[in-house]
Amino acid sequence: MPLSPLYRPALHHQSLGDGFFDRVAAADFPQTLLRFRNDRHAARIGLDQLTDAEWTGHFGRFTPLPDTLQTPLALRYHGHQFGHYNPDLGDGRGFLFAQLYEADSNRLLDLGTKGSGQTPWSRQGDGRLTLKGGMREVLASEMLEALGVNTSKTFSLIETGESLMRGDEPSPTRSGVMVRLSHSHIRIGTFQRLATLGDEAGLRLLADYVIAHYWPRAAHHADPVIGLFGHVVTAVARMGAQWFAAGFVHGVLNTDNITLTGESFDYGPWRFLPVYDPRFTAAYFDQTGLYAFGRQPEALLWNLARLAETLVPLTDTEALRTALQTFLPQFKQALTGQSLRMLGLVPDATAQSEAIVTQFYTALRDTQAPFAQCFFDLYGAGDPERLDQSPLAGLYAQPVWQETLAALRSLPVSPLAETQARHPYRARREPVTMLIETVEALWHDIDTRDDWSAFEQTVQDIRLMGSFYAPHFAD
């Protein structure tokens, strides 16, 4: 294995002790066909020099990487699922495979799996992942990254040669194993498990670990636990705002799907909005719309309240409540900033920016205009010549949009807008989108003809879009 100088392995998670995980082994798959490798992010952790054979050996057969975990760890946690507490969770079809440091930021990152086989937490599950599910995770994480969302990265997807039976899609179907690169797999549910067990020492140990490795600035707070909680509230509020501006519906906002780093991950029944609809749901089984698009901020706040409950033995209850109350103002502020960045505009120092962003989303809702097309057309407050050539030209002539355009044009245009207006992505007439019809068409080509060319081209198109937006999201 050619080791890059940027390869910096770590062994931190196992220092928590055996009470936090189970040591497991990966499934022995009939085959390992490499379908996606993320060399962009492999370079961040010194693994881009692997040959394809070495890649499939590590991420399909799970041969340990040097000097990191030599045995995979299935993590233990509980969680609220659609509002109901479930103490029978844990990594049932995945495990923590390795920990490494990112070269540029020095952040501790995890390589975790999905579909890697059964664990003590599989219950009645087979521990497997459909290939279609893995493909969908690639598309979700690539789109969200391109749209400025703090997301895990799909690192690898390998087809494993098994035929899986699934009730929610035509069966038998093809199987795969996926690896994701994440800034921690510690979840709200990890804390909930310890609180339910009454393990105050474990809670303290876990809080100290999270502070040391993910939120070191919290250690300088007068009460480090409150400092930690405040950082998590801020990160989750920003993540929710980023989803909103991207028109993204996660679908399953259970407490075991919210990490302590506020990084979006675990993409199952996700969808992107075709039009602005607060009631739009992603999961067919979300019959009450608990996790509908417009209710996602509420769901995130509810989850943070569950985290606060677990921290009560460690700190002051009133201080936790005060920190929790900052969620909504921070969400609104982050949504204003994220929306205007995507529109190539700069917020002013008054409440006017928030009001204008609200006006923009109201116009989207009331006219049911295509969500992504409007962001694309109105970049830089909408060049009149470009708007005349847009598929939505007639819509923009309506009074509601004329008023909204006037409001947007009252804000300063980003200094980046002039340069980015010449970006190759702006040569398109329509934006890159990832509606369900696109996903199904890509899968049809793969499933019926084993043709991955449209999928591969779509990933390149998404990355072109990401290169257009990236300067706006740079801190």
**pLDDT one-digit tens code per residue, 334-360:** 999 999 999 999 987 667 999 999 999
Residue 355 confidence (pLDDT): 95
State the average pLDDT over residues 284-310: 97
Residue 348 confidence (pLDDT): 76
* Tens digits of residue pLDDT in 310-325: 999 999 999 999 999 9
Residue 237 confidence (pLDDT): 98
The amino acid present at 39, given as its one-letter code, is D
- What amino acid positions are annotated as catalytic residues? 256
Residue 124 confidence (pLDDT): 86
pLDDT classification of 191: cutoffs 50, 70, 90: very high
104 versus 24: which is more confidently predicted? 24
Q: What is the 8-class DSSP label of residue 8?
A: -
Q: Is the pLDDT of residue 169 over 90?
A: no
CA-CA distance, 198 to 310, in Å (whole number)? 10
Q: Which residues contact 160 (CB under 8 A, 6 or more apart)?
A: 27, 29, 30, 31, 32, 33, 60, 115, 128, 175, 176, 177
391 versus 124: which is more confidently predicted? 391
**Among the listed ranges 133-147, 160-174, 385-399, which one has the minimum average pLDDT value?**
160-174
State the average pLDDT over residues 144-150: 98
Q: Which residues contact 255 (CB under 8 A, 6 or more apart)?
A: 79, 80, 187, 188, 189, 192, 303, 306, 307
pLDDT classification of 432: cutoffs 50, 70, 90: very high
Q: What is the 8-class DSSP label of residue 352?
A: H
State the average pLDDT over residues 420-428: 94
Phi and psi, residue 345, nearest 5°:
-120, 165
Residue 2 confidence (pLDDT): 64
**Among the listed ranges 74-78, 282-286, 318-322, 344-348, which one has the minimum average pLDDT value?**
344-348
Q: Is the pLDDT of residue 1 over 70?
A: no
Which pair of tokens denotes residue 221? 């707070």
State the average pLDDT over residues 258-286: 97
Q: Is the pLDDT of residue 41 over 90?
A: yes
Mean residue pLDDT of the chain comes to 96
Residue 292 confidence (pLDDT): 98
Residue 168 confidence (pLDDT): 73
State the average pLDDT over residues 48-75: 97
pTM above 0.85, yes or no: yes
Residue 290 confidence (pLDDT): 97
Which residues, in sequence order, are bridge partners of residue 34?
158
Q: Is the pLDDT of residue 3 over 70?
A: yes
pLDDT classification of 224: cutoffs 50, 70, 90: very high
Dihedral angle sign, alpha carbons of residues 462, 465, 471, 475: negative
Within 312-431, residue ranges assigned H as helices are 317-324, 327-342, 352-367, 371-377, 384-389, 393-396, 399-408, 415-420
State the average pLDDT over residues 406-430: 94
Residue 70 confidence (pLDDT): 97
